[in-house]
């Protein structure tokens, strides 16, 4: 087995599992850069996965190939709407952001399962009729070696996730909007005296995390899970949160970390195909992403550069 062959197994599998993590972690970047801790990412992914699956089941047949894409739009809208609960609690009512995030996670799981049971009479939906399929990207897939590794057996959604990471970086660090988002997360009072509406910016930050979290969940459901149950999203939101911290609240950092965690998740699937990993029992492979997450967070992160006002509600006029 030569290196190109090994890579053309590892890379596509990594990209599959990384895409939802990248997207969700990017959402977390926007929320936390604006100063709102968001451990509700898991719940937002659940809402996204649920919405995209239902959308696909209801409209898939009629819409055909456009169905998965439209289901992602629906997932984003649902995520953004759901994140409003967290935004209102954390920003307007100054609730404890950790508690509010936990509530989001529990509410999302409870509500979606309840609805699924109402509709299907069991805790599991049917398989979606129109999932995404891996393809060879026209043009790029024909590049020798690199094309084979990166672009010949890949989901469009993975490419989209990576592109969005760079777009997020541009928005956060090159545009006035990004400067303002970051300013309210670092020193909201300074931003306020400069005429920036702190509450508005934070609402936007949290809602972007809803868009991205919903998208992440939708991508996971439409590429990997293909149906919705209580365990469709099982910790990916928290891994995305870890990727955000590991990536030091930076979109490109989060991208790198999410790719790493995506690789860890893909190990249990592709491990049996790889020379070194073949003999390791599969249970260890399933544990790998979680253990690597802990190791990464404790061992390598060093100084964490969280936005200074992250998690601190802003009260106008307080010194």
Partner 1 sequence: MEYVIEMLNIRKAFPGIVANDNINLQVKKGEIHALLGENGAGKSTLMNVLFGLYQPERGEIRVRGEKVHINSPNKANDLGIGMVHQHFMLVDTFTVAENIILGKEPKKFGRIDRKRAGQEVQDISDRYGLQIHPEAKAADISVGMQQRAEILKTLYRGADILIFDEPTAVLTPHEIKELMQIMKNLVKEGKSIILITHKLKEIMEICDRVTVIRKGKGIKTLDVRDTNQDELASLMVGREVSFKTEKRAAQPGAEVLAIDGITVKDTRGIETVRDLSLSVKAGEIVGIAGVDGNGQSELIEAVTGLRKTDSGTITLNGKQIQNLTPRKITESGIGHIPQDRHKHGLVLDFPIGENILLQSYYKKPYSALGVLHKGEMYKKARSLITEYDVRTPDEYTHARALSGGNQQKAIIGREIDRNPDLLIAAQPTRGLDVGAIEFVHKKLIEQRDAGKAVLLLSFELEEIMNLSDRIAVIFEGRIIASVNPQETTEQELGLLMAGSTQKEAGKANG
**Binding letters toward partner 1, positions 143-182, x by CB under 8 A:** ---------------------------x---xxx--xx-x
- The length of the chain is 319
Considering only 135, 145, 308, 315, the residue that binds partner 1 (CB under 8 A) is: 308
Question: Is the distance from CB of 275 to CB of 1 less than 8 angstroms?
Answer: yes
Question: Is the distance from CB of 96 to CB of 31 less than 8 angstroms?
Answer: no
Considering only 96, 137, 141, 192, the residue that binds partner 1 (CB under 8 A) is: 192
Shortest CB 35 distance to partner 1, Å: 12
Q: Is 302 in the site for partner 1 (CB under 8 A)?
A: no
Q: What are phi and psi of 94, to 5 degrees?
A: 50, 40
Q: Among 240, 242, 245, 222, which Cα is nearest to 232's?
A: 222
Considering only 167, 190, 287, 315, the residue that binds partner 1 (CB under 8 A) is: 190
Our CB check for partner 1 shows the closer of 154 and 172 to be: 172
Our CB check for partner 1 shows the closer of 190 and 295 to be: 190
Instruction: Determine the Cα–Cα distance for residues 219 and 52; give it in Å rounded to an integer.
Output: 8
Instruction: Determine the Cα–Cα distance for residues 181 and 24; give it in Å rounded to an integer.
Output: 18
Our CB check for partner 1 shows the closer of 148 and 180 to be: 180
Report in angstroms the alpha-carbon separations of 200 from 185, 188, 203, 205, 246: 12, 12, 5, 9, 28
DSSP state of 135: B
Q: Token pair 């990207």 is at which residue?
A: 137
Q: Is 187 in the site for partner 1 (CB under 8 A)?
A: yes
Shortest CB 307 distance to partner 1, Å: 8
Our CB check for partner 1 shows the closer of 278 and 319 to be: 319
Instruction: Determine the Cα–Cα distance for residues 216 and 45; give it in Å rounded to an integer.
Output: 6
Question: Is the distance from CB of 242 to CB of 299 less than 8 angstroms?
Answer: no
Segment contacting partner 1 (CB under 8 A): 64-72, 129-137, 187-195, 223-231? 187-195
Q: Is 308 helix (H, G, I), strand (E, B) or coil?
A: coil
Instruction: Determine the Cα–Cα distance for residues 176 and 179; give it in Å rounded to an integer.
Output: 5
Q: Is 193 in the site for partner 1 (CB under 8 A)?
A: yes
Shortest CB 179 distance to partner 1, Å: 6
Q: Is 202 in the site for partner 1 (CB under 8 A)?
A: no
Q: Is 196 in the site for partner 1 (CB under 8 A)?
A: yes
Our CB check for partner 1 shows the closer of 171 and 269 to be: 171
Our CB check for partner 1 shows the closer of 21 and 172 to be: 172
Q: Is 96 in the site for partner 1 (CB under 8 A)?
A: no
Our CB check for partner 1 shows the closer of 75 and 204 to be: 204
Instruction: Determine the Cα–Cα distance for residues 227 and 98; give it in Å rounded to an integer.
Output: 29
Q: Token pair 């195909």 is at which residue?
A: 273
Q: Is 303 in the site for partner 1 (CB under 8 A)?
A: no
Applying CB under 8 A, what is the total number of residues that bind partner 1? 21
Report in angstroms the alpha-carbon separations of 68 from 52, 151, 241, 250, 316: 8, 20, 25, 29, 44
Question: Is the distance from CB of 20 to CB of 232 less than 8 angstroms?
Answer: no
Segment contacting partner 1 (CB under 8 A): 4-12, 77-85, 129-137, 183-191? 183-191
Considering only 81, 102, 189, 269, the residue that binds partner 1 (CB under 8 A) is: 189
* Interface ranges with partner 1 (CB under 8 A): 170, 174-176, 179-180, 182-183, 186-187, 189-196, 308, 317, 319
């Amino acid at each position: 087995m030569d290196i190109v062959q090994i890579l053309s197994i590892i890379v596509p599998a990594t990209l599959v599992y990384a895409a939802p993590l990248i997207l969700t972690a990017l959402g977390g970047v926007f929320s936390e850069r604006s100063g709102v801790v968001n451990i509700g990412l898991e719940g937002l992914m659940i809402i996204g996965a649920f919405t995209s699956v239902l959308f696909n089941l209801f409209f898939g047949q009629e819409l055909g190939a456009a169905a998965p894409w439209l289901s992602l739009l629906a997932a984003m809208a649902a995520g953004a709407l759901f994140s409003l609960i967290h935004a209102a609690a954390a920003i307007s009512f100054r609730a404890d952001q950790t508690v509010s995030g936990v509530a989001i996670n529990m509410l999302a799981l409870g509500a979606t399962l309840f609805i699924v049971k109402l509709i299907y009479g069991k805790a599991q939906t049917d398989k979606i009729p129109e999932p995404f399929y891996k393809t060879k990207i026209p043009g790029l897939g024909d590049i020798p070696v690199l094309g084979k590794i990166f672009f010949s057996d890949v989901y469009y959604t993975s490419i989209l996730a990576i592109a969005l990471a760079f777009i997020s970086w541009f928005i956060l660090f090159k545009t006035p909007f990004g400067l303002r988002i970051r300013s309210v997360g670092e020193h909201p009072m300074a931003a306020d005296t400069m005429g920036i509406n702190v509450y508005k910016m934070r609402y936007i930050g949290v809602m972007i995390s809803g868009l991205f979290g919903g998208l992440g969940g939708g991508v996971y459901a439409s590429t990997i899970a293909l149906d919705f149950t209580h365990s469709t999203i099982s910790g990916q939101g928290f891994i995305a949160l870890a990727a955000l911290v590991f990536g030091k609240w930076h979109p490109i950092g989060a991208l790198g970390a999410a790719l790493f965690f995506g690789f860890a998740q893909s190990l249990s699937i592709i491990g049996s195909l790889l020379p070194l990993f073949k003999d390791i029992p599969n249970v260890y492979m399933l544990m790998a992403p979680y253990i690597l997450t802990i190791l990464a967070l404790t061992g390598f992160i060093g100084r964490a550069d969280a936005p200074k006002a992250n998690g601190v509600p802003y009260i106008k006029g307080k010194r």
